[in-house]
Amino acid sequence: MREFDYTRAETLSGAAGQLGENASIIAGGTNLLDLMKIQVMTPSRLVDITRIDGLRDVSEDGEGLRIGALVTNSELAADPRVREGWPLLSRAILAGASGQIRNKATTGGNLLQRTRCPYFYDTAMPCNKRNPGEGCSAKEGDGRMLAIFGTSEHCLAAHPSDMAVALAALRAEVEICAPHGDARRVPISELYKLPGDRPDIETVLAPDDIITAVHLPAPQADTRQVYKKVRDRASYAFALVSVGVAVAMDGDRIASVSCAIGGVAPKPWTDPEIEKALAGQTPSDEVFGQAADKALTQARCQPDTEFKKPLLRRTLIAALREATGLAASAPGVETARIPA
Partner 1 sequence: MRTRFTVNGEPREVEHDTRATLLDILRDQLGLTGTKKGCDHGQCGACTVLVNGKRVNSCLCLAAMHEDDEMTTIEGLGSPEALSALQKAFVSQDGYQCGFCTPGQIVSATAMLEELRAGDPSFASASLEGEMPLDDSEIAERMSGNLCRCSAYPLIREAIAMAAEVKS
Positions that interact with partner 1 (CB under 8 A): 1, 3-6, 8, 26, 29-30, 33-34, 37, 46, 48, 50, 74, 77-78, 83-84, 87, 90-91, 94-95, 97-101, 103-104, 234-236, 331-332, 334
198 class by beta-carbon count within 10 Å (0-12 exposed, 13-18 middle, 19+ buried): middle
Nearer to partner 1, 223 or 305 (CB): 223
Which of 34/122 has CB closer to partner 1?
Answer: 34
Q: CA angle 174-117-101, nearest 5°?
A: 60
Which residues are CB-neighbours of 297 under 8 A, at least 6 positions away? none
**CA 85 from chain center: how many Å?**
19
**What is the closest distance, in whole angstroms, from the C-beta atom of residue 20 to partner 1 in the complex?**
18
SS3 of residue 337 by DSSP: coil
C-alpha distance from residue 39 to each of 6, 43, 63, 196 (Å): 17, 9, 44, 25
CB of 4 to partner 1, least distance (A): 6
Query: With respect to partner 1, which residue has the nearer C-beta, 30 or 212?
Result: 30
- Residue 328: CB minimum distance to partner 1, A: 13
Cα atoms in the 13 Å half-sphere on the side-chain side of 256: 8
CB of 206 to partner 1, least distance (A): 25
Q: Cβ neighbours of residue 282 under 8 Å, at least 6 residues apart?
A: 252, 253, 254
Question: Which residue lies nearer to partner 1 by CB, 92 or 136?
Answer: 92
Q: Which is nearer to partner 1, 110 or 189 (CB)?
A: 110
Taking the complex as a whole, how short is the minimal distance between the CB of residue 273 and partner 1, in angstroms?
29
